[in-house]
Chains A and B, each alone.
Chain A
């Protein structure tokens, strides 16, 4: 057993945002599993082997949050602990319950199932770009990558596409607003409004169902019982959060990297087969979901470290993804890196259920965007990263300028109308009408 190594560390701090990976490298040298005194004290993991060992023992390192029992050791996946009356979906459950929920959504998220959405991804990317390409300036986050993942998520769930705007701000703001921000009450209020909107929609939906994840959730039974509306909503909030925010983070960081590395951009444009390894490498390097917390359920010793019941642990993915024991030259993006067994989609039972959508979408958005806007400059005065990247390594704004191009279509609003009509027609067809 190793002595507990205390490191001054806070994954929500500005220092982490600006120098997190250097801090992680120092901490890893001293100990791949260290202790921070912040937020009541928590372990944090910088080594890949250690992260893997913890994630594979959900019985000892629980993700569960016990709603209504703030004193319980089951505190969910956020550090600091956030008390809420609402369940957090299956991300805050343990097996076997967690697997029951995943089983309902899995059929929508396999590589074969998600492939049918590729035309939507590519068409919406182009429609978004059409709205500003003649101006020679635009905001890659606000006008492209906040939009496309949101619309796709709405379509996959079976929600009206145009409602993406209702969920957009709360989906991002609830992630980037730090726990001590004066803006937090406003963001919580927005989130509550989104919850209410969704709750009302579920009731409406039962009368008038359409294909998609929501129908599968409404129709599903666990142990012979239909799912409680509260858990359907928790699941939808999870799919919305995961669907909206993480891909935005990945695509915007990669877009910035390509602007700063013209040789990498030229290579990707010349060698399209490189996108397969490049996608994994961007995911590893930027690690959109930086990590999740776990709760120690009993005194135990794992990977050579002793834990006490009630300890909290930040199971980082970002820091293990720079572990030099597994990644040569870990702080450099190598577009052809292989093997690349990164932890960015998580490890163990909570592996990102949307990873196949993420890969498809990343490639689609990046390729179409580069086709339309091959040369661009990031406007650094307007560039705004998330205030905290402790949860998601994202960007709020990414203004850019470029030589103006030509519109190819009528833009976003028309695409929303066209696709809604198309999806509605498919619904009727699949209903046997």
Chain B
């Protein structure tokens, strides 16, 4: 199981970090999202799925 942000699809809407700040961070240079956790617990996956559903660019990939 893992979660990642497709860098070429993300445009920096920042909603992932607003929705699940425990899972996603924002890069300093352009505000684009990245996954900041390394352990994909059920809680992390649940929060990441909420963020993925809310991403305007559909840039978040969930691999179960």
Contacts and interface: CB of A to CB of B under 8 A. Distances in A.
A356 B17 CA distance: 12
Contacts of A107: 28-29
Given A355-B13, A355-B14, A356-B14, A110 B56 contact: no
B14 to A, nearest CB: 6
Contacts of A349: 11
Interface in B18-58: 18, 26, 28-31, 50, 53-58
Contacts of B57: 52, 347-348, 351
A340 B51 CA distance: 10
Contacts of B30: 102-103, 106, 110
A345 B11 CA distance: 11
B29 A351 contact: no
A338 interface: yes
A343 interface: yes
B58 to A, nearest CB: 8
B11, B18, B30, B53: which has the most chain A beta carbons within 10 Å?
Answer: B11
Interface in A102-127: 102-103, 106-107, 109-112
Given A345-B13, A347-B11, A351-B12, A111 B26 contact: yes
Contact of A341 (B17, B28, B55): B55
Contacts of B58: 52, 341
A276 B18 contact: yes
Determine the main DSSP class of B at the interface with A: loop
A349 B58 CA distance: 14
Interface size class on chain B is 10 to 19
B11 A351 contact: yes
A342 interface: yes
Nearest to B11: A351
A342 B31 contact: no
A125 B12 CA distance: 28
A167 to B, nearest CB: 26
Contacts of A40: none
A339 interface: yes
Nearest to B52: A339
A106 B29 contact: yes
B54 A339 contact: yes
Contact of B11 (A103, A276, A348): A348
A106 B14 CA distance: 13
A121 B19 CA distance: 24
A39 to B, nearest CB: 28
Contact of A111 (B31, B50, B53): B31
Contacts of A351: 11-13, 56-57
A356 B31 contact: yes
A347 B15 CA distance: 13
B56 A111 contact: no
A339 B12 contact: no
A107 B28 CA distance: 7
Contacts of B12: 106, 351
B56 A343 contact: yes
A345 B26 CA distance: 18
A110 B26 contact: yes
Contacts of A106: 12, 29-31
Contacts of A103: 29-30
A340 B18 contact: no
Given A52-B57, A52-B58, A106-B12, 5 more contacts: A102-B30, A106-B30, A111-B14, A280-B15, A341-B53
Closest 10 CB pairs of A and B: A339-B54, A351-B11, A110-B31, A339-B53, A341-B56, A106-B30, A341-B54, A111-B14, A347-B56, A351-B13
Interface of B: 11-15, 17-18, 26, 28-31, 50, 53-58
23 contacts: A52-B58, A106-B29, A106-B31, A107-B28, A107-B29, A109-B31, A110-B31, A111-B14, A276-B18, A338-B50, A338-B54, A339-B50, A341-B15, A341-B53, A341-B55, A343-B56, A347-B56, A348-B11, A351-B12, A351-B56, A351-B57, A355-B14, A356-B31
